[in-house]
Structure 1
Amino acid sequence: MITSLPKPKIDVEFKIIKRAHVYTAGGVNYPSVTKILGVIDNGKSNALAIWARREALKLAQNELFGALDNGTALTYENVSEIIKSADRQPDKLKDAAADLGTRVHDAIDAYILGKEPVLDDESVVGFTNFIEWMGKEKIRIISGDIPVASPEWGFGGRLDSVGVNDKNEVIILDWKTSNALRSEYPLQVAAYTLAFEEMYGLHVSGAKVVRFGKTDPADFEPRDVKLKEAKLAFLRALGLYKAMKAELWA
């Protein structure tokens, strides 16, 4: 029965260089999985820009209409303040969402380490859903957050957790805070699996993404990953990333 991870064949160091996440193994720096998958984007940047514009306009509209309804005279000064506030609104919303996700993730990390989770009225909902799901899936967690790297393929990343099911099979687990499952998530988990197998010499039988909603504490969605197909998709994205790094102008 697998109760803990063996000593890794590769020592991996995580660091931040010029705001980029870098993984070092054997004296070689490797790019992160997230950076590599940025080459496919999936329209994420455009979708984020549209969302930010919509939220900013919504706040500006509400403030301006509120001023008109209250009979407040609009001046250059107060309109300027409304525009500044609207410009900051998307960042405020993202920070609030990240805060809820961070609290749930911190509680899970504490649970994995055998510590008492710190919970509030919002985070306790997501944490309880997670514990109940773990019981139904019959998964024992044997490791929390660990950096991994693949010298063979040339990348690194941080996986959230490693578990073992009731068949004594190794399962990679990844926590996500978002309002929907994104198509790049399976590729991320597949990359972590490739690096994990290379580092520890253990076969991974499955992978799961567990999503926690950004704003609704009860929003909880675990999904299985088709690992074989996801590995192939990630390696194709990796090939594109490497090709785009080459000099393409004659």
Structure 2
Amino acid sequence: MTSPQQAKTTDRGRYYEDPQGGPDLISVTNVLDYSVAKPILIPWASKVVATYVMRHLPRVVAHSRTDPDAILKELKRQPEYAREAAADRGTRVHDRAEAHLLRTPVPDEEDPEVLPYFNQFLKFLDMWSIDPDRDLEAAEATVANRQLGYAGTMDLLLHLPTGPSRRRRRQLWLIDIKTSETQASTNVWPEYDMQLAAYRYAPVIWTPDGSDIPMPKVAGAAILNLRRRRVNLIPMHASRTSFAAFRSALTVAKHLQRTEQTKFAPLTPPTDPDPTTLRRAA
């Protein structure tokens, strides 16, 4: 998933520059990163470090005696390296899927890390009888809500045969792609529901030339879970209630970021205290 042209990285996470002017808009994922607790990351980080130690035990032990500060710093960085590697792999999978749908040049056809996930993506298209020329409404489109001050880039708007009739009339779905090496393909994190709701109820989509078009109504929203050997499409609520929860998270994220930028000064006692107050205290 290449970075959208309006997106920029700041010391407070990703923001979007409004092509029509006005203040920058905080990204949906930035909101969730700031406001949603992720307790699972603690045991995950512990496992990453423990696995690294077991794989490099002789070297870790040797360095613990000769340069303990350096090896400690190296161990502490392993979760960050693992997170960056997973994010990079996910980006390459998104890029390959997008190129296939839009029939644009493929970034790297033989990328050994991407191929298993891309094959599962092709399986998804086949299972749901998806013809990109007929069923793709949008890919990597940025949505925005200027009134609330956020923007985000949704992965796919696809027409799927989910209608109630016998002919399975096609309906428009909002789909976000997630990749992972370890999770079961039916697992989704709760914050995904708020993420999809934020996209779903954003009023406008930004076009490449910077103009607005209305966000179309969708029949549903889902997570496309891609694993090396399995794929599942998991429907989410992405309801008005989910959107209300996202708006609360948005308020929390903005408050936390403002507080981070505040320089708090310690209170100092008066230089000339009132002697009567001192006598009463005594």
Q: TM-score w.r.t. structure 1 length?
A: 0.73
Q: Does 1:54 align with 2:65?
A: no
Shift of 1:183: 0.8
Q: Which of 97, 106, 121 matches 1:108?
A: 97
Aligned to 1:207: 221
Give CA-to-partner distance per residue, 1:138-177, whole Å, 9 cap, x none: 3422321111101344321111111123434221111112
Task: List per-residue Cα deviations over 1:211-238 (Å, max 9, x = no partner).
Answer: 234xxx224332112233xx31232331
| Contact residue 198 and residue 246 of structure 2 kept, 8 A | no
Q: Report the AA paired with residue 190 of structure 2.
A: S
Instruction: Give the 3-state SS of the residue equivalent to 2:115 in structure 1.
Output: helix
Distance 2:70 2:148 in 1: 51
| Counterparts of 2:233 and 2:189, CA distance in 1 | 13
Counterpart of 1:7?
Answer: none
Unaligned residue ranges in structure 1 (runs of 5+)? 1-11
CA distance 1:209–1:67, change in 2 (3 Å): closer
Greater relative contact order: 1 or 2 (C-alpha under 8 angstroms, separation 6 or more)? 1
Contact 1:170 1:204 in 2 (8 A): yes
Q: Using the aligned pairs only, state the percent identity.
A: 26
Aligned length: 226
2:210 is matched with none
Structure 2: distance between partners of 1:74 and 1:105: 39
Residue segments in structure 2 that go unaligned for 5+ positions in a row: 162-168, 206-212, 260-282
Deviates more, 1:231-240 or 1:75-84: 75-84
Decide which of 97, 110, 115 is 1:124's aligned counterpart.
115
State the superposition RMSD in angstroms.
3.3
Report the AA paired with residue 208 of structure 1.
A
CA, structure 1 residues 55+13, in 2 after alignment: closer, same or farther (shift >3 Å)?
closer
On the 8 A contact 2:35/2:253 being kept in 1, the answer is no
- Give the secondary-structure state (helix, strand or coil) at the position aligned to 2:40: helix
CA distance in 1, matches of 2:68, 2:9: 40
- If the length of structure 2 is used for normalisation, what is the TM-score? 0.66
Counterpart residue number, 2:171: 169
Q: Name which one, 1 or 2, has greater alpha-carbon Rg.
A: 2
